[in-house]
């Protein structure tokens, strides 16, 4: 299955100023997060951010934060517990109470939702992992951008990727995401997106 930009949302997890200096390959990971955010803006993919206990860990990278429609401050490691799912769900447009509808009609009512969630962030084995698993439980399709994620150690990062893959998350790279969003070389944003990669 390929990514389709119109079905996607990008979530950038905890690229925080006091956390990034201790993250393995931090500059590389942050650069890829910037590429994803810029490509998302070009292709009209909604971008959301999260910050773990920002009073202690500081805000997200300022430029990255500027690409986000909203940045969710959280105390749980998994952002779903602090309201991420509400941000990602499309507004309800049924007549009457959607919860009173039969389950198959409730699902149809959510058909306009962008259900493919592209995730990058830190730390991969804590906040990113718990957020991804929470999104999977809420029946989102989760795509983890491995070269835009890290932890303080490569071992923790790699263990997170193994666990995420075993639980149904798709593991992708920044370039995979961008080229799949574009679909073809005649896309109006192709040249601009290509500049992000070069």
pLDDT digits (tens, 9 = 90+) for 104-148: 445 444 445 899 999 999 999 999 999 999 999 999 999 999 999
Q: Give residue for tokens 């931090």.
A: 26
Rounded CA separation 69/11 (Å): 10
pLDDT of residue 83: 96
The candidate with the shortest Cα–Cα distance to 178, out of 20, 70, 46, 39, is 39
pLDDT at 95 over 60: no
Could you tell me how far CA 123 lies from the centroid of its own chain? 13
Q: Interhelix angle for 154-166 vs 129-137, to 10°? A: 10
R_g over Cα of the chain:
17
The band of 98, judged by pLDDT with boundaries at 50, 70 and 90, is: low
The band of 101, judged by pLDDT with boundaries at 50, 70 and 90, is: low
Q: Can you spell out the DSSP letters for 115-166? A: -EEEEEEE-IIIIIHHHHHHHHHTT-EEEEEEEEEE-SSHHHHHHHHHHHHH
Give the CATH fold of the 5-197 domain. Answer: Rossmann fold (3.40.50)
Residue 53 phi, psi dihedral angles, 5° rounding: 40, 65
pLDDT of residue 109: 44
pLDDT in tens, 39-68: 999 999 999 999 999 999 999 999 999 999
Q: Can you spell out the DSSP letters for 41-83? A: HHTT--EEEEEESHHHH--B-HHHHHT-SEEEEESSSSGGGGT
Q: Give residue for tokens 């990255």.
A: 64
Could you tell me how far CA 51 lies from the centroid of its own chain? 13
Domain range list for the chain: 5-197
pTM of the predicted model, to two decimals?
0.88
pLDDT in tens, 1-36: 899 999 999 999 999 999 999 999 999 999 999 999
């Amino acid at each position: 299955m390929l990514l389709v930009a119109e079905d996607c949302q990008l979530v950038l997890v905890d690229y925080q100023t006091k956390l990034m200096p201790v993250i393995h390959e931090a500059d590389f990971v942050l650069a890829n997060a910037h590429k994803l955010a810029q490509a998302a803006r070009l292709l009209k993919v909604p971008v959301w951010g999260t910050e773990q206990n920002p009073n202690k860990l500081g805000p997200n990278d300022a430029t990255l934060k500027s690409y986000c429609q909203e940045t969710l401050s959280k105390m749980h490691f998994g952002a779903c517990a602090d309201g991420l799912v509400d941000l990602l769900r499309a507004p309800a447009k049924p007549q009457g109470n959607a919860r009173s509808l039969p389950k198959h009609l409730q699902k149809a009512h959510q058909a306009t939702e962008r259900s493919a969630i592209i995730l990058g962030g830190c730390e991969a084995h804590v906040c990113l992992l718990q957020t991804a698993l929470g999104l999977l439980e809420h029946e989102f399709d989760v795509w983890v951008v491995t070269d835009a994620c890290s932890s303080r150690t490569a071992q923790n990062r790699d263990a997170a990727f193994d666990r995420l893959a075993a639980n149904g998350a798709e593991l992708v790279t920044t370039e995979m995401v961008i080229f799949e969003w574009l679909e073809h070389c005649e896309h109006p944003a192709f040249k601009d997106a290509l500049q992000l990669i070069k």
